[in-house]
Structure 1
Amino acid sequence: MRAGIGTLRKRLVIVLFALAAVFLALIGRLAYIQLIQAPWLTEKAEDLWRRNIPVEPKRGVITDRTGEVLAYNGSSPTVVAIPSQIKDKQAAAESLAKTLGVKSQDILSKISKRTLLVYVMPGGRKIDEEKAKAVRNLKLPGIYITEEGKRNYPLETLAAHILGFSGIDNQGLTGLEAWYDSRLRGKAGSISFFANAKGERMPNENDTYTPPVNGQNLKLTIDKEISTFVQREVQNVVANYNPDGVMVIVADPKTGEILAMENYPTFNPSKYKEYPQEVFNRNLTIWKTFEPGSTFKIVTLAAALEEKKVNLNEKFFDPGYYEVAGRRIRCWKAGGHGSETILEVVENSCNPGFMMMGQRLGKEKLFEYIRKFGFGQKTGIDMPGEGNGILFKLNRVGPLELATTSFGQGVSVTPIQQVMAVSAIANGGLLMQPHVAKEWTDPETGNVVETIQPKVQRRVVSEETAKTVRETLESVVAQGTGKNAFREGYRIGGKTGTAQVASPGGGYKSGHYIVSFVGMAPVDDPRLVAYIAVDNPKAGVVFGGTIAAPVIGNILADSLHYLGVPARKNGIPREYKYGDIVPVEVPQVAGLSLEEGQRAMIQNAANLRVETVGSGKYIVAQAPTAGTKVPPGSTLRIYLSDQPVP
């Protein structure tokens, strides 16, 4: 049955309305895409077309506490290539090779890779400005110049293990460069351009430059001048004793700030590839663990005084040994020290006296104090590679282990642990957390972003006990085993250490010792704590008092003088024995005529050599100043002028 005209018309109208609806939907969809989705689609398209050439940020500058630059980034141009944009690769390789002074085949192999972007190596990374200008003048399609940072360490080996170094890709690899990498590195920028699927540059499109965000600048607690004093002393120890290793730390006991930290062997961070990996990867002052020897006796003494197990005036008899669990453990002095006070036990570093203290304390109480002082755990210093040290487990401590621990044998500690433990005595009984970062600043504005505040870990002994221990340690330096650290007017307190090195297979290595000394000054208000350990010195007499003590005496005296700390006149006087070198006092000659000065020196009989600077008949200045005590035969420098001092 055929449909009528009316029916066909209805069907046609329906189809037309359907087509109109579809057409309107398409127009609506097109409008939505063109008007609403256009920014989003454009962004997606641009993401597909965009190619980025990275621009490195400048790594943050590292300075010492006074602003002396220790590490900085120099801007270095680097050649990069977009292989797909280079039509004649052979010609481009030859031109670049001639300009950069390398083989063309090496460059051709790089720019022929099927990749978006390559560094033109060898020869094109971190080049000088002259070569960069020459490359720009070639105007080669697909060849670009970007900027990379080249890390420089202007003071070479100074504080090398603290700083560490960064690699060619601006990444921190060791030391603080690695520990604070994210803050020092910053955020990379880019040079952007549009390219098609083949990587060919799109015409009539401009490059977009997104600047990098430079890394923050870091000011350290380290003091360059004090570090220089330390470095000088380390070099002297190496020259005189040819040791396997040397570790020195100088700290501010009140804040936990590390003022100097030097090691031997050391390295130059700018040339780290020239050194063995074990040298630059190991910061011995925080990594190396060893038996401390007698410097550890400070902890035993502090615990015994705090618990009132001893007092400095009571008597003790040392027959030359102490019997423990059926064994005789001998004193370092053959025949012993005989009758002595507890003060003299400390002055003489008498092992039997300290074993007695350990026995009175008991293992639970002694090890409680050892842990309170921070041993057996990391100090939390802001550097990688810190060691824990090793302590006996309490259930394995018998009478013999208790006795040896009390004088520093059988336990294993790090230099930084010892420095912070003695700092707790120096500051009145508070264990501080050590740190080397002092302040972060914005590289653009110079504004301070963060200041690192001192952090108290806990109280370990009372102020009274700490004061008593400090005064006892001053007596050790003035009248005991630490005499070689004595410096007139500086009130140095300290303790010697001589420890045989344990063998991995058990027992001890014959003839292998680590000698050490830890000191603080001035004892009445300590500004500095300094520690040195010398591993395996090759010397006739291997004792901490003869090798290590003079080093700390020099470091503390020079550092306190540099810091402007006035000399003290109320310290314990040095006790001199037959054979000791007695210092002489420098006479007052500045302000006198040359004739009067010569007469004064003759009358003084100070046995000083005189060196004149300038000419004239009046002495206008002198060095050292009057009243300074120096070894006999030292040089007195006098400055002459034709005019008297006004």
Structure 2
Amino acid sequence: MKTSQVTVRKRLYTALMLVILAFAALLFRLGYVQLWIGGDITKKAEDSWRRIIDYAPKRGEILDRNGVRLAYNISSPTVMAIPVQVKDPQGTAHALAQPLSMSEEQLYRLLTKREKIVELKPGGRKMTTEKAQQIREMALPGIVVAEDNRRYYPFGSLASHVLGFAGSYNQGLTGLELQYDQRLTGTKGGVNYLASANGESMPNSSDTFTPPRDGLSLQLTIDQKIQSIVERELDQAVLQYNPKSAIAIAMDPNTGEIYAMGSRPTFEPDKYQEVSPEVYNRNLPIWMTYEPGSTFKIITLAAALQEGKVDLEHESFYDPGYMDVAGAKLRCWKKGGHGSQTFLEVVENSCNPGFVVLGQRLGKDKLFQYIKDFGFGKKTGIDLKGEENGILFKPSQVGPVELATTAFGQGVSVTPIQQITAVSAVINGGKLYKPYVSKAWIQPDTGMILEEGKPQLVRQVISEETSKKVRAALEKVVAQGTGRNAFLDGYRVGGKTGTAQKVVNGRYSPNEHIVSFIGFAPADDPKLIVYVAIDNPQGIQFGGVVAAPIVHNIMADALPYLGVQPSKTQIEKEFKYGDTPIVAVPNLVGKTVSDIYEDMNMSFQLATSGSGNTVIRQAPVAGTKLERGSVIRIYLGAGD
């Protein structure tokens, strides 16, 4: 059948319309892609081409109160490979094996991985700058040396439990490094570049470098010098007594600022893998809980004076050596007792029965209210992780015996930080402050202080007048009572001994004790308070014999360093049978070591620091009176 011209023209018209519509749809699609979604598609394409080499920021430094660096970063580059750009994997592995201390087989496996970027670890991670430069000079295709750093602790184990440590990727793992990890870490930067599917750099493309933003620096209340003094004495205590553990805290009693905090056993942050996790995870001054013993009597004394329950100088008490309470015989540490004495002598002699009477006069409600007001039974809130609460009797558990034992520090459980914080409140005019170690956050580039820690008053617990009376009584303890080994010639020192039986298998052990001493100076205007506790020292187990001399040594060096001037008057030390004679320290500055050993008698022991042959400084200073046999530390340097 013959098709008509009209039909042909219709078909041609239809076909033309379809072609026009197809072209219109294609043009619309092209316009849509180009004008509407072109940017998104280009971005997706670039993202598939993009490669990033990260540049780690510098972790913020940790400084002591005077700006001494306690933790900072040192350059430690990392070697990485872009496998698709490595032209000769076998030859590259051979070239890198020696400088990276890795086998060729191990390197070959890394260099041929189907990944964008591979770290050549372990040998290529955190390298020395010398080795990194050696690898840069090889100019091996596909091998990149990225700038990196690692954490460095210049003073070894100094304040290690406070500082904590950072891991191989500069992440905080314990201590302040963990607590403030986000602020210390900063924000990473890197190099962005475009690469084809085979890993080659895209032509006509340029690299983009985003600089990392370094972490903030943290300044502490810790004083490196005082911390070193404390650490020295803890080491000496370990050598002398081989205890299970030992702790020491030094603090400004008027603000809550921690000058030093240390414990044994300890560790070096750079070598934390060499010790048990129990060592580096437990900051004993805030974690350890134990019965405090007689140092807790300070709280009972303060409460009794505040409530007007005792006249220390004019009221007498007879101590037969024990006291019967609800059928329990509570003994004094002195067999046979102290006999007739004033209540001031009860304090000086640390007489348990006398403090039982003070607890009974207060009653359980008053005594336990003061104990809680001084901060026991809950965390102090110090800005360190791992703090414990301690344990107090529940009101329903407190009978006559529990009231009596609590009054002299048995049956309650405290932490060292609670103890020193509470006693600070007793002696500073009655103000309980929150202890803290973070002094300021600092912008590393400008040195600008962004945030500053300040003293935080929790509450007023006792009056200034009561505080003054307690200070005077505790000064007598050091001069004439059980704390005589903490006596420091030239300084008015107050304090209290503690000797607490440990609970072993649910019973008090007659052979294991925690011995302690808490001391402060000057007694009339305290500027420094120090608490030392030694867990189960071998041999002698009395706080006045073991812990008091340690506090004495810390204060002998720390008080002059803090600029605390000696007092013109102080209570004379009362010598008793068996006390060691007191001898004036000679002036050793300017002398050579050989001269000292030739001329000096055997009154003192010498400990040396530094190098050289001439004494440039000594501690304590000349004229200070110490017990015969005490240690004088001499600092050596080059002579004139």
Q: Same fold (TM over 0.5)?
A: yes
Find the counterpart in structure 1 of residue 411 from structure 2: 410
Aligned counterparts of 1:108 and 1:257: Cα–Cα separation in 2: 55
Query: How large is the RMSD of aligned CA atoms in angstroms?
Result: 3.0
- Name 1:601's counterpart in structure 2: none
* Correspondence for 2:490: 489
TM alignment of 1:470-485, pairs within 5 A = 470-485=471-486
Contact conserved, 2:79 with 2:125, CA < 8 A, in 1? yes
- Counting only pairs closer than 5 Å after superposition, residues 194-209 of structure 1 correspond to structure 2 as 194-197=194-197, 199=199, 201-209=201-209
Return closer, same or farther for 1:170/1:366 CA change in 2, 3 Å cut-off: same
Q: Deviations over 1:255-275 (max 9, x none)?
A: 111101111111111222222
Corresponding letter in the other structure for 2:497: T
Question: Percentage identity across aligned positions?
Answer: 56
Structure 2, gaps ≥5 residues long: 590-600, 607-616, 634-640
2:532 is matched with which residue? 532
For residues 446-500 of structure 1, give each alpha carbon's deviation from its aligned partner in whole angstroms, at most 9, with x where no partner exists. Answer: 1111111111122222222122111111111111110110112211111000011
Verify: 1:345 aligned to 2:341, yes or no.
no
1:547 aligns to 2:549 (yes or no): no
Greater shift, 469-478 or 34-43, is seen at: 34-43
Residue matched to 1:186: 186
The aligned counterpart of 1:30 is: 30
**Deviates further, 260-269 or 130-139:** 130-139
Cα distance in 2 for partners of 1:18, 1:469 equals 105
Work out the CA distance in 2 between the residues paired with 1:466 and 1:349: 19
Is 1:386 the equivalent of 2:387? yes
Secondary structure in 2 aligned to 1:387?
coil
What is the deviation of 1:221?
0.7
CA separation in 2, counterparts of 1:84 and 1:391?
66
**Deviation at residue 100 of structure 1 after TM alignment:** 2.2
Question: What residue identity is the alignment partner of 1:318?
Answer: D
Does 356-365 or 213-222 show the bigger shift? 356-365
Q: Is the 8 A contact 1:608 1:635 kept in 2?
A: no
Establish whether residue 556 from structure 1 lines up as the match of residue 555 from structure 2: yes
Counterpart CA distance in 2 for 1:3 and 1:459 is 113
Corresponding position of 1:331: 332
Q: Where does residue 139 of structure 2 map in the other structure?
A: 139
- The superposition leaves residues 361-402 of structure 1 with CA deviations (integer Å, 9 ceiling, x where unpaired) of 222221111111111111111112111111112211211111
| One-letter identity of the residue aligned with 1:209 | F
1:522 aligned partner = 522
Structure 1 unaligned spans of 5+: 591-605, 612-620, 638-646
State the Cα distance separating 1:159 from its structure 2 match: 1.1
Partner in structure 2 of residue 239 of structure 1: 239
Deviation at 1:21, TM superposition (A): 6.9
Amino acid at match of 2:47: D
The verdict on how the C-alpha distance between 1:340 and 1:228 changes in structure 2, with shifts beyond 3 A counting, is: same
- CA offset at residue 205 of structure 1? 2.7
| Residue identity opposite 1:266 in structure 2 | T
CA drift of 1:321 comes to: 0.9
Relative to structure 1, the CA distance from residue 221 to residue 13 in structure 2 (aligned partners, 3 Å threshold; closer, same or farther) is same
Matches within 5 A, 1:300-311: 300-311=300-311
SS in 2 for 1:238: helix
Q: In structure 2, how many angstroms separate the alpha carbons of the residues matched to 1:68 and 1:492?
A: 29
CA 1:250–1:19: 2 relative to 1, 3 Å: same
- Which secondary structure state, in structure 2, belongs to the residue aligned with residue 434 of structure 1? coil
Change (3 A) 1:254 1:384: same
Report SS of the residue matched to 1:97.
helix
CA distance in 2 between counterparts of 1:61 and 1:491 reads 38
CA displacement at 1:589 relative to structure 2: 14
Q: In the alignment, residue 500 of structure 1 is paired with which amino acid? A: Q
TM-score, structure 2 as length reference: 0.88
Equivalence for 1:365? 366
What is the CA–CA distance in structure 2 between the aligned matches of 1:372 and 1:339, rounded to whole Å?
A: 33
Contact 2:556 2:619 in 1 (8 A): no
How big is each residue's C-alpha offset from its partner over 1:183-226, in whole Å with a ceiling of 9 and x where there is no partner?
11111111222234565543443322211111111111111111
Match of 1:74 in 2: 74
Deviations 1:408-464 (A, max 9, x none): 111111111111111111221111111111111111111111111111122222222
C-alpha contact 1:249 1:285 (8 A) present in aligned 2: yes
Q: Are the structure 2 counterparts of residues 534 and 188 from structure 1 closer, same or farther at C-alpha, using a change threshold of 3 Å?
A: same
Letter in 2 for 1:405: T
CA contact (8 A) 2:479 2:571 kept: yes
- Give the AA of the match of 2:473: T
* Counterpart amino acid of residue 153 in structure 2: Y
CA distance in 2, matches of 1:267, 1:475: 39
The alpha-carbon deviation at position 626 of structure 1 amounts to 7.5
Secondary structure in structure 2 of the residue aligned to 1:278: helix
What's the secondary structure of 1:279's corresponding residue?
Answer: helix
Distance in 1 between residues matched to 2:631 and 2:145, nearest whole Å: 59
Which one-letter code corresponds to 2:169 in the other structure? D
User: How much has 1:112 moved relative to structure 2?
Assistant: 2.9
Q: Distance in 2 between matches of 1:455 and 1:201?
A: 58
Task: Tell me if structure 1 keeps the 8 A contact 2:256–2:455.
Answer: yes
SS at match of 1:424: helix
Change in Cα spacing, 1:607 to 1:542, as seen in structure 2 (3 Å) is closer
Aligned to 1:290: 290
Q: TM-score, normalised by structure 1?
A: 0.88
Contact 1:248–1:262 (Cα < 8 Å) also in 2: yes
Deviations 1:98-118 (CA, angstroms, capped at 9, x unpaired): 332321111122233333322
**What SS does structure 1 have at the residue aligned with 2:261?**
strand
User: Residue 515 of structure 2: SS of its match in structure 1?
Assistant: strand
Query: What residue number does 1:502 align with?
Result: 503
How has the CA–CA distance of structure 1 residues 557 and 99 changed in structure 2, closer, same or farther, with 3 Å as cutoff? closer
Query: Is the 1:390–1:411 Cα contact (8 Å) retained in structure 2?
Result: yes
Confirm or deny: 8 A CA contact 1:106 1:122 kept in the other structure. Answer: no
SS in 2 for 1:548: helix
Amino acid at match of 2:571: I
Per-residue CA deviations over 1:153-202 (Å, capped at 9, x if unaligned) read 11112111111111101101111111111111111111222234565543
Aligned residue identity for 2:544: G
Correspondence for 1:173: 173
- Structure 1 residues 236, 22: CA separation in 2 closer, same or farther (over 3 Å shift)? same
Amino acid at match of 1:354: F
Cα displacement (A) at 1:46: 2.0
Structure-2 residue corresponding to 1:116: 116
What amino acid is aligned across from residue 264 of structure 1 in structure 2? R
- Which residue does the alignment assign to 2:609? none
Q: Does 1:629 align with 2:608?
A: no
The equivalent of 1:401 in structure 2 is 402
Q: 8 Å contact 1:355–1:403 — kept in the other structure?
A: yes
| Amino acid corresponding to residue 266 of structure 2 in structure 1 | T
| Shift of residue 327, structure 1, vs aligned partner | 1.5
